[in-house]
């Protein structure tokens, strides 16, 4: 049968033989196909040919036989870091799921297409048997201890039978979420501005429209009488990391434009209105926004 490969996400484990995947040392070569197989026939089942021998490359090879058998040959060098051959598992475990051959570099499995937890589905083109292979990576031991990496990789194996045609497909399944953005020191621009939205309709709540427009530099100084509300907004500018969220710990007012000048009147302490103030501040909900307070 023929063999194809595709990838769902991230890097693909190579299936087609090439120079690098076929560089298997002579003592570790395992015969692929019958002894008299030709070079073209060897390539058709995604194995390597050195002019005399057809052998398995440094990949995960799936072959589907016409009598509905899965043949799975896994090279420890199929990934970097290497695959831990002792940790390989299929969708389910039964006696037929044990290896039929092992070396220090390869492990070989052969089982009926319906065994080891395989599922079967039919469509208009034929019958598809599907299984999953999961394995851990080897853990490197260095002078300062063990080096651990992402815990495992997972492959989806499919044998598709359509009339007399047999097709083997291998997909890599992404089992881990994408890594978070790299954190590094950098500037964080924060802006404080005062809302000046005005009610123009009867029954309007001033708080609801206050943040629809803002005072500009030319509007200052702004005159307010005692207990006249001041609508303050603080926001982050030019944020590229969606994981950043703005919280306010302490807010205060001064009688000059300089934040550290004295005296200071506390408005928020630990993110909450200052309780000892006779006229406490009120926090206004900003919904799902993470960069506005």
User: What are the pLDDT digits (tens) for 234-268?
Assistant: 888 888 777 788 888 888 888 887 888 888 888 88
| Beta partners for residue 61, in sequence order | 73
Average the pLDDT over each of 128-132, 137-141, 252-256 and give the range with the smallest value.
137-141
Could you tell me if 83 and 137 are in contact, meaning their C-beta atoms sit under 8 angstroms apart? Answer: yes
pLDDT attached to residue 1: 39
Taking only the tens place, the pLDDT of each residue in 146-161 is: 555 545 678 999 999 9
- pLDDT confidence of residue 13: 46
Nearest to 284 by CA among 197, 215, 211, 218: 211
Q: To the nearest 10°, report the CA torsion of 246, 249, 254, 257.
A: -30
Question: For residue 267, which of 222, 213, 223, 231 has the smallest C-alpha distance?
Answer: 231
What domains appear along the chain, each with residue ranges and CATH number?
A: 2-173 (2.60.40.3210), 189-273 (2.60.40.4100)
* Cβ atoms 34, 100 nearer than 8 A: no
* pTM (two decimals): 0.54
Kindly tell me if the per-residue pLDDT of 28 is higher than 90.
yes
Mean pLDDT of 205-234: 84
């Amino acid at each position: 049968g023929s063999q194809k490969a595709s990838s769902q996400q991230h890097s693909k484990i190579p299936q087609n033989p090439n120079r690098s995947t076929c560089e298997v040392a002579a003592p570790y070569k395992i015969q692929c196909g019958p002894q008299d197989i030709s070079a073209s026939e060897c390539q058709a089942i995604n194995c390597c040919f050195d002019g005399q021998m057809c052998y398995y490359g440094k990949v995960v090879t799936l072959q589907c036989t016409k009598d509905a058998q899965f043949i799975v040959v896994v090279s420890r060098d199929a990934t970097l870091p290497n695959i831990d051959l002792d940790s390989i598992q299929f969708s389910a475990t039964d006696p037929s799921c044990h290896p039929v051959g092992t070396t220090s570099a390869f492990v070989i499995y052969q089982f009926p297409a319906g065994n080891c937890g395989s599922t079967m589905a039919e469509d208009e083109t034929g019958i598809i048997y599907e299984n999953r292979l999961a394995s851990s990576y080897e853990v490197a031991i260095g002078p300062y201890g063990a080096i651990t990496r992402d815990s495992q990789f997972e492959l989806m194996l499919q044998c598709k039978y359509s009339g007399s045609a047999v097709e083997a497909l291998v997909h890599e399944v992404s089992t881990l979420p994408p890594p978070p953005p790299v954190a590094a020191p950098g500037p964080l621009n924060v802006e404080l501005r005062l809302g000046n939205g005005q009610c123009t309709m009867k029954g309007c709540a001033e708080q609801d429209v206050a943040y629809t427009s803002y005072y500009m530099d030319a509007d200052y100084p702004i005159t307010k009488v005692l207990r006249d509300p001041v609508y303050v907004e603080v926001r982050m500018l030019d944020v590229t990391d969606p994981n950043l969220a703005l919280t306010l710990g302490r807010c205060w007012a001064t009688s000059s434009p300089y934040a550290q000048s004295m005296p200071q009147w506390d408005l928020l302490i630990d993110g909450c209105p200052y309780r000892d103030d006779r006229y406490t501040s009120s926090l206004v909900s900003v919904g799902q926004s993470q960069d506005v307070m």
